[in-house]
């Protein structure tokens, strides 16, 4: 019995690991969207983060530089988005799409020389505790520091948005940029900051994939996770804690379908692989049905262009 | 003393000439940006750009290839322009293309040992219907369940890709194909007629041209086109005028889905001739750029599709001569859209260079 319990513990640990990139990217995008900016470039920023992290790891042989570099690269890409949407007042949807297309192309261009290189082992914390405590050990211990950070992030984000002055300013900017501007808040600056923060988190999410989750570089390795992260923000109705719950559900589906493939059930592999995407659609439908609930939580100015007459 | 060199003023009305000139500006800026990227990668920028944009179309075969690539791009972009004009963000055209290809390909496989003039029209029609039905999923979910069409249409791309993978590996794989992930070759009468011997350009180009003409007719000469444009400009006005918003959302999605489905069927019955895993090099996504670059205008889209098709060919040539990955094409496509959107700023704002006057110094 204790063996079975331990197996379930390992399974839960795996689910947690697979939800990390979703938590990071969705938490970052949540802050961006709370300030009224819809950045559809999550997938592009994640994949750029993945290749920059991996490339820096290979070149510098230093994981710290790799992680910081991946965040910087996500930030740089999101700066392009900020420049276009905030300073040149472009359409958020189209600009975000351009960012994703550009990011995927750029990542493959940079990654050309890094295909097939094995990754480096990322240090995991409390490995001895993981082995010695059954069931709870594999759940709570033996993870990378980024996982612990990711699981704390939604709570930090929640506190930040609800209890701090900066959080209040961000929400004010997202809900009514004109009134916020009249109160003397620099809307453009706030939005720039939120965009850059979102970009850095997406970069980190990508680095988690290429450095820890599947430590190697594969073209297109984000495989739509960026889009699922975007869906998660809607699913969570812009609440950070619900992002965590949603990410765990999707992590669960991913791990479940992998295990079902491994067990060799007579269900086509492709159907199982399609499950996370189909589930996303179903969940979106269920959440969005109640339009009042969505409207209540959506940042009122989401995706709208703000221009202050000088 | 602070001296203002540049003054930015809001324009009162959008200038028509600038509206169609900014895409040209965007293309030049992209060439410039591309040159810089090639320089960073260690190539002579002029040489590299020549390989990218001139070498591929310097012979008849190259020109034919350009049209082969522009045919689906233009078709999909035309369909998308209906959606984008009315503020419906269908970004899953790639999935609709694949699903159209699956349905059309399935019919083609049914007729694999039939001959007759009726085979190809049936395949084409079923492909269009397939794409149309697939596009109706996000449309219906949007209208009746308030679901975000961007995310749903995109998720369906992955579903369509996996479905195609399942079919060509499993039930539809060629029984004499040694387990390769591909179907039988379609019969001769299921293939698009080739226009010139030795070149790949096929009759699909006529489908595209007819669609361009029809959409011009619908968009500019019918009440439906007027409704689409009004709802794009102001949803409130459209509601006030009593337009049936829900029906219109479904109609624009059906049109764009049918176009993407036609493009898919054009690919499999044209250059490919069977179903396999990669029936489209992301035409459905690239067509989004084509639609914007062409200013959602049928004639503009024709030109835009030729330019963007060139980035596909250029990437292939550059892959051979410069050993850069074929994804370089996507970098250029992303840049075109960046610069295009950015230069739209000039539509709404005037930039005045004031210069320094002597008495100010």
Structure tokens that stand for A140 in this block = 């709570």
Angstroms from A78 CA to nearest CA on chain B: 13
Name the least confident of A284-288, B7-11, B185-189, B239-243: B7-11
Q: Does residue B357 register a pLDDT over 60?
A: no
Instruction: Give the three-state DSSP class for B11.
Output: coil
- 101-140 in chain A: CB under 8 A from chain B: 101-109, 112
Mean pLDDT of B35-58: 89
Mean pLDDT of B264-284: 94
Pairwise CA distance, residues A243 & A252, whole Å:
14
Cα A235 to chain centroid, rounded: 14
Report which of residues B208 and B196 the model is more confident about. B208
Q: Does residue B2 register a pLDDT over 70?
A: no
- What is the value of ipTM here, to two decimals? 0.88
Report which of residues A123 and A241 the model is more confident about. A241
- 127-166 in chain B: CB under 8 A from chain A: 141, 145-148, 150-152, 154-156, 158-159, 162-163, 165-166
Structure tokens that stand for B358 in this block = 């002597």
Name the least confident of A178-187, A301-310, B40-49, B94-103: A301-310
Q: Does residue A170 register a pLDDT over 90?
A: yes
- Tokens 């988690």: give the residue: A208
Name the least confident of A112-116, A149-153, A194-198, A205-209: A112-116
Mean pLDDT, all residues of chain B: 89
Residue B63 CB: number of other CB atoms within 10 A? 15
Pairwise CA distance, residues A242 & B157, whole Å:
26
Report the pLDDT value the prediction gives residue A4, as an integer from 0 to 100: 77
Chain A contact set for B235 (CB, 8 A): none
Mean pLDDT of B140-146: 92
Mean pLDDT of A129-147: 81
> How many CA atoms lie less than 13 Å away from B60 in the CB half-sphere?
5
Instruction: Give the three-state DSSP class for B323.
Output: coil
Residue A62 CB: number of other CB atoms within 10 A? 13
- % of chain B surpassing 70 pLDDT: 95
Q: Does residue B231 register a pLDDT over 60?
A: yes
Report the pLDDT value the prediction gives residue A189, as an integer from 0 to 100: 95
Cβ pairs A/B, distance under 8 A: 134
Pairwise CA distance, residues B52 & A92, whole Å:
30
- Domain spans, chain A: 2-297
Label residue A112 by pLDDT band (50, 70, 90): confident
Report the pLDDT value the prediction gives residue B97, as an integer from 0 to 100: 98
Closest CA to A12 of A248, A259, A241, A279: A248
Chain B contact set for A114 (CB, 8 A): none
The pLDDT tens digits of the residues spanning A2-22 come to 457 788 888 898 999 999 999
- 270-309 in chain B: CB under 8 A from chain A: 285-286, 288-289, 292
Helix ranges (H only) for chain A are 2-34, 42-60, 63-82, 92-111, 127-132, 136-140, 145-163, 165-175, 177-182, 187-207, 225-235, 240-263, 269-288, 291-297
Domain A2-297, classified CATH 3.30.70, yes or no? no
Chain B contact set for A82 (CB, 8 A): none
Mean pLDDT of A180-203: 95
Q: Per-residue b/e over A226-257, b at no fewer than 16 CB within 10 Å?
A: bbbbbbbbbbbbbbbebbbebbbbbbbbbbeb
Report the pLDDT value the prediction gives residue B40, as an integer from 0 to 100: 87
B154:A227 CB<8 A: yes
Pairwise CA distance, residues B105 & B124, whole Å:
9
A94:B341 CB<8 A: yes
Label residue B1 by pLDDT band (50, 70, 90): very low
Structure tokens that stand for A288 in this block = 């969005």
Pairwise CA distance, residues A274 & B158, whole Å:
7
Report the pLDDT value the prediction gives residue B359, as an integer from 0 to 100: 53
Closest CA to A199 of A94, A42, A14, A89: A42
Q: Does residue A47 register a pLDDT over 70?
A: yes
Structure tokens that stand for A275 in this block = 């499950």
Chain B contact set for A261 (CB, 8 A): none
Q: Sign of dihedral through CA atoms B281, B285, B287, B292? A: negative
- Tokens 């990955």: give the residue: B325
The pLDDT tens digits of the residues spanning B62-121 come to 999 999 999 999 999 999 999 999 989 999 999 999 999 999 999 999 998 888 899 999
| CA-based end-to-end distance of chain A | 71
* pTM, 2 dp: 0.90
Report which of residues A296 and B157 the model is more confident about. B157
Structure letter (DSSP) for residue B350: E
- 254-293 in chain A: CB under 8 A from chain B: 268-271, 273-274, 277-278, 280-281, 284-285, 288-289, 291
Report the pLDDT value the prediction gives residue B124, as an integer from 0 to 100: 97
Pairwise CA distance, residues B245 & B70, whole Å:
32
Determine phi and psi for A238, rounding to 5 degrees.
Answer: 60, 30
Name the least confident of A89-93, A157-161, A304-308, B83-87: A304-308
Cα B36 to chain centroid, rounded: 26
Report the chain A residue with the minimal C-alpha distance to residue B84. A94
Residue A260 CB: number of other CB atoms within 10 A? 15
B342:A84 CB<8 A: yes
Mean pLDDT of B176-181: 85
Which domains, from first to last, does chain B contain?
6-360 (1.10.3470)
Structure letter (DSSP) for residue B147: -
Mean pLDDT of B135-151: 93
Name the least confident of A256-260, B28-32, B351-355: B351-355
The pLDDT tens digits of the residues spanning A253-309 come to 888 888 887 877 778 888 888 988 998 899 889 888 877 777 777 888 888 888 876
- 326-355 in chain B: CB under 8 A from chain A: 327-335, 337-338, 341-342, 344-345, 348
Which of A105, A112, A277 is the closest to B331 by Cβ? Answer: A105
Q: Per-residue b/e over A72-107, b at no fewer than 16 CB within 10 Å?
A: bbbbbbbebbbbbbbebbbbbbbbbbbbbbbbbbbb
Mean pLDDT, all residues of chain A: 90
Instruction: Give the three-state DSSP class for B351.
Output: strand
């Amino acid at each position: 019995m204790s063996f079975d319990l331990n197996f379930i513990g390992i399974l839960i640990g795996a689910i947690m690991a697979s939800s990390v990139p979703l938590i990071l990217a969705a938490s970052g995008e949540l802050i961006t969207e709370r300030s009224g900016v819809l950045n559809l470039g999550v997938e592009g920023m994640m994949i750029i983060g993945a290749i920059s992290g991996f490339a820096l790891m290979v070149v510098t042989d230093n994981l710290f530089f790799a992680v910081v570099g991946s965040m910087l690269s996500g930030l740089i890409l999101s700066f392009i988005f900020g420049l276009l949407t905030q300073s040149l007042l472009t359409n958020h949807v189209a600009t975000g799409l351009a960012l994703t297309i550009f990011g995927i192309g750029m990542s493959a261009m940079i990654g050309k020389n890094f295909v097939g290189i094995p990754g480096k082992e990322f240090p995991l914390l409390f490995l001895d505790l993981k082995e010695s405590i059954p069931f709870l050990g594999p759940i709570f211990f033996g993870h990378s520091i980024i996982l612990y950070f990711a699981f704390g992030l939604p709570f930090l984000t929640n506190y930040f948005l609800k209890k701090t002055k900066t959080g209040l300013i961000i929400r004010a900017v997202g809900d009514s940029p004109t009134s916020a501007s009249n109160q003397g808040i620099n809307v453009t600056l706030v939005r720039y900051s939120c965009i850059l923060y979102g970009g850095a988190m997406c970069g980190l999410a990508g680095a988690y994939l290429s450095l820890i989750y599947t430590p190697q570089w594969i073209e297109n390795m984000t495989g739509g996770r960026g889009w699922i992260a975007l869906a998660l923000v809607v699913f969570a109705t812009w609440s950070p804690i619900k992002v965590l719950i949603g990410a765990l559900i999707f992590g669960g589906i991913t791990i479940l379908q992998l295990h079902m493939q491994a067990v060799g059930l007579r269900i086509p592999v492709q159907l199982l692989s399609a499950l996370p995407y189909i589930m996303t659609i179903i969940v979106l439908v269920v959440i969005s049905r109640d339009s009042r609930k969505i409207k209540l939580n959506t940042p009122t100015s989401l995706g709208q262009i703000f221009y202050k007459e000088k | 003393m602070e001296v203002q060199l540049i003054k930015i003023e809001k324009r009162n009305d959008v200038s028509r000439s600038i509206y169609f000139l900014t895409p040209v500006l965007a293309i030049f800026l992209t060439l410039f940006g591309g040159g810089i990227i090639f320089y960073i990668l260690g190539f002579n920028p002029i040489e590299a750009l020549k390989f990218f944009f001139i070498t591929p179309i310097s012979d008849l075969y190259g020109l034919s290839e350009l049209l082969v690539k522009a045919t689906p791009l233009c078709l999909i972009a035309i369909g998308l322009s209906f959606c984008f004009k009315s503020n419906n963000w269908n970004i899953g055209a790639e999935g609709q293309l694949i699903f159209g290809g699956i349905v059309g390909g399935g019919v083609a496989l049914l007729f694999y040992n039939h001959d007759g003039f009726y085979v190809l029209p049936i395949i084409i029609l079923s492909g269009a219907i397939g794409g149309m039905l697939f596009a109706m999923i996000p449309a219906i979910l949007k209208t009746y369940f308030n679901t975000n069409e961007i995310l749903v249409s995109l998720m369906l791309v992955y579903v369509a890709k996996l479905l195609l993978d399942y079919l060509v590996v499993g039930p539809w794989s060629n029984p004499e194909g040694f387990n390769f992930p591909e179907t039988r070759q379609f019969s001769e009468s299921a293939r698009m007629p080739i226009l010139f011997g030795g070149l790949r350009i096929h009759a699909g180009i006529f489908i595209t041209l007819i669609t361009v003409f029809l959409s011009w007719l619908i968009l500019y000469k019918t009440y439906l086109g007027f409704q689409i444009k009004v709802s794009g400009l102001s949803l409130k006005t459209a509601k006030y005028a009593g337009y049936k918003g829900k029906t219109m959302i479904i109609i624009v999605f059906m049109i764009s889905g049918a176009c993407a489905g036609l493009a898919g069927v054009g690919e499999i019955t044209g250059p490919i001739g069977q179903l396999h895993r990669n029936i489209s090099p992301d035409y459905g996504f690239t067509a989004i750029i084509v639609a914007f670059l062409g200013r959602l205008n049928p004639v503009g889209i024709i030109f835009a599709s030729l330019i963007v098709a060139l980035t596909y060919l250029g990437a292939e040539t550059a892959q051979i001569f410069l050993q850069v990955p074929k994804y370089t094409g996507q970098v250029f496509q992303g840049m075109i859209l960046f610069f295009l959107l950015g230069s739209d700023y000039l539509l709404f704002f005037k930039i005045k260079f004031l210069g320094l006057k002597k008495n100010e110094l």
